[in-house]
Amino acid sequence: MNTEGINTEYKREYVEDIKKTVVAFANTIGGKIYLGIDNDGQIIGVQDYDQTILKITNTIRDSIKPDITLFTSYHKEILEEKVVIIITVQKGTACPYYLAGKGIRPEGVYVRQGASSVPATETAIFKMIKETAGDNYEEIRSLNQDLTFESLKVEFVESNIKIDQAKMKTLHLIGEDDLYSNLGLLLSDQCIHTIKVAVFEGNTKETFKDRYEFAGSLFKQLKDCYSFIDRYNSTKSEFEGLRRIDKRNYPTTAIREALLNSIVHRDYAYSGSTLISIFDNRIEFVTIGGLVKGIAKDDMLLGVSMLRNKNLANIFYRLKLIEAFGTGIPKIMESYHTYLIEPKIDITDNAFKITLYNTDFIKNSINDSFNSLLNEGEQKVIDLFKDVDSIRRKDIEMKLSISQPMAIKHLKNLLEKEAIKKIGSGKNVRYHLSGK
């Protein structure tokens, strides 16, 4: 007899641990188990062929997931006038195979190493999953199958959508093998990815004021993180005539869309956290994963969208958390259209950063900057806005005692410097300070 090796195993008699060898062969290159032969190659034989075959088939059917029975076969061979059972195991097409009672983790997944069946490393398990499912992270089988979905159920109930096993399969939280996918993991209460938020004193990272890490289902992270950021989005009241106008330091649309963008479009194949930094003058959202291949920054600003996590985005769309694919960034930019500084977007191969500026800080700093750029006549025009929200050209002529051509010249220069903005047309034209 040949000696034991990577695709050969001898078993003196049936033992329940034979399932580990079957798993190892199915995960590696296949192999044969000779039942009734001792480790040293001595032929012992099987006493009760029918009963032994029944035990083997039941064990393989009930103890190994996914179903490996189609890749196993059995036949009886007479060697030295003794019955030997040969179990042939082919390499499966749905690796990793694992012990049902242990799950997809090292103590449940075995591979062949020389003549031994040994636990697979997490790296080896993940590699098998990727080879089976491809590179689409959200469709790959989750390593953790002990998942709960309390936060997900709340979201679906609030949206009046029924959620059951069939719906979870339709939405790709459960794969064709009836196991949870990584998308299921992301939306489960056991999600391994987090959002870290830090609040700093001033405009640098020298001094921390507050910090928090948000975990759990992506739905829970979205709600909790938005509430946290909202605490730092102060409201300032201004008066237009007799009416009080309340304005937030950051447009709520911009905060919402930037946060949703960081959750829906990040690359979850990497384990790092999404980072949000809050300063006095800005908020930075740093997300792992650059633009999807084939999309440029200009395309994105126009609303062109190629989804990295299409199934995740589809669920957020169904729950009306996002309105339409590709509209997030344009909405962010539009929410700042009345301000002199627009949000900043920085992109690298592996990261994406959106910077939102504090509109109150912008207005004050811009005014200070413009004061140094204005000539005496232009500064006098700006001073007219101290007591009013808008002025007409005739107001400038009367209050500054200047000619119509000079007033037009001042207005033209201020418009070019974006210190003021023009509202209306014809006789109804009025001028407002930019940022108001």
Mean pLDDT by 10 residues, the chain (436 residues): 85 92 94 92 90 93 91 91 93 90 91 93 85 77 90 93 92 89 96 96 90 96 96 76 74 95 90 92 91 74 78 93 81 84 86 90 56 75 84 91 91 82 86 74
- Shared domain for 342 and 419, answered yes or no, is no
The reply to whether 153 falls in a domain is yes
Query: Residue 60 maps to which CATH number?
Result: 3.30.950.30
In sequence order, what are the beta bridge partners of 287?
352
Q: Quickly count: other Cβ atoms within 10 Å of residue 376's Cβ.
A: 6
Can you give the pLDDT at residue 58?
Answer: 94
Can you give the pLDDT at residue 371?
Answer: 54
Can you give the pLDDT at residue 353?
Answer: 94
Token pair 């921390």: residue:
208
The whole-angstrom separation of Cα 192 and Cα 312 is 16
Query: Residue 378 maps to which CATH number?
Result: 1.10.10.10
- Shared domain for 105 and 208, answered yes or no, is no
Count structural domains, the chain: 4
- Shared domain for 335 and 266, answered yes or no, is yes
- Shared domain for 141 and 127, answered yes or no, is no
- Shared domain for 38 and 105, answered yes or no, is yes
Can you give the pLDDT at residue 368?
Answer: 53
Whether the upstream peptide bond of residue 343 has omega within 30° of 0, thus cis, is no
- Shared domain for 216 and 356, answered yes or no, is yes
- Shared domain for 75 and 146, answered yes or no, is no
In sequence order, what are the beta bridge partners of 354?
285, 345
- Shared domain for 208 and 306, answered yes or no, is yes
The reply to whether 414 falls in a domain is yes
The reply to whether 3 falls in a domain is no
Can you give the pLDDT at residue 35?
Answer: 94
Q: Is the CA virtual torsion 14, 17, 22, 25 positive or negative?
A: negative
- Shared domain for 342 and 260, answered yes or no, is yes
The reply to whether 97 falls in a domain is yes
The reply to whether 366 falls in a domain is no
Domain residues for the domain of 415 are: 373-433
The reply to whether 389 falls in a domain is yes
- Shared domain for 182 and 199, answered yes or no, is no
Can you give the pLDDT at residue 424?
Answer: 85
Query: Of 169, 187, 205, which residue sits at a domain end?
Result: 187
Query: Residue 292 maps to which CATH number?
Result: 3.30.565.60
The reply to whether 422 falls in a domain is yes
- Shared domain for 346 and 216, answered yes or no, is yes
Exposure string (b/e) for 325-345, b if CB count within 10 Å is 16 or more?
A: bbebbebbeebbeebbbbbee
- Shared domain for 388 and 295, answered yes or no, is no
Query: Of 332, 361, 390, which residue sits at a domain end?
Result: 361
In degrees and rounded to multiples of 5, residue 274 shows phi and psi of -70, 135
Exposure string (b/e) for 407-420, b if CB count within 10 Å is 16 or more?
A: beebbebbeeeebb
In degrees and rounded to multiples of 5, residue 206 shows phi and psi of -75, -40
The reply to whether 2 falls in a domain is no
